[in-house]
Amino acid sequence: MKKSITCGFLFLLPFTLAYSQQSPDFNWEESLGTIIITGYTGNRKTVTIPDNIDGMPVNVIGPSAFANKGLTDVVIPNGIREIWEYAFANNQLTRIIFPNSITDIRANAFANNQLTSVDLPAKIYSIHYGAFSNNRLASVNFPNGVFFIGAGAFARNHLTSITIPNSVATIQPAVFAHNRLTSVVIPESVCSMNYAAFGYNPLTSITIGANVFLDWEVLGTDGSFDQAYTDGGKQAGTYTRPNAESKIWTRR
């Protein structure tokens, strides 16, 4: 079966929450027979999240549930489908192992930690605004199937290279801004790139397909690549410049 990709927006429907409870170290809410963890009340810095509470499966980590707890390690069980806004933000996490059940990571979920690498799970399709921003990421592995990567999702890290999956249609603003990228390959699935998508990186090589819409200065304050690509008729190819300070791009 042939798959197609459409540029557009992602709409997510919220859960309807039923009632709140407590169990040792965790606050939670039940919704339609599943559990949303809403808070952590323990004092351990290494946490194993349960896969069920009161005989019901844990499927969601709620907003800010584990934020600002000084956590250094967390085990996320299989069965978790969604990790909501700021769920693990502002901790000291250095690694995270994702179960394959996760499909959605919301805004700033792991922002402001010390993560050095991330292997995203096979079923994930959306990664939202700032999800992994301001860590120490040197590598990120994307599975095929990711189609939405939100603004600033991997900004302010230590990335030197990335492979964007051929399922992404739009590269949002500042997704990979403030890293250490020197080259990037834009997959043929991409039909638009937004402001500062790769801003403030020492890029000297960009490989891109034909007729991609560039929404103003994809390198941040430097509009030289946009101009070279657009003035050249938006032709596919690899565009290079001699160094990161140069404003002169040539296509080959």
Per-residue pLDDT of 132-164, as tens digits, reads 999 999 999 999 999 999 999 999 999 999 999
What sign has the CA pseudo-torsion 148, 151, 156, 159?
positive
**Nearest-angstrom CA–CA distance, 213 and 215:** 6
Contacts of 55 (CB under 8 A, 6+ apart): none
- pTM of the predicted model as reported, rounded to 2 decimal places: 0.89
Yes or no: say if 122 and 145 are a contact pair by the CB < 8 Å rule: yes
Per-residue pLDDT of 169-187, as tens digits, reads 999 999 999 999 999 999 9
Does residue 238 sit in helix, strand or coil? strand
What pLDDT band is residue 43 in, cutting at 50, 70 and 90? very high
With tokens 């590598």, the residue in question is 139
Yes or no: say if 124 and 104 are a contact pair by the CB < 8 Å rule: yes
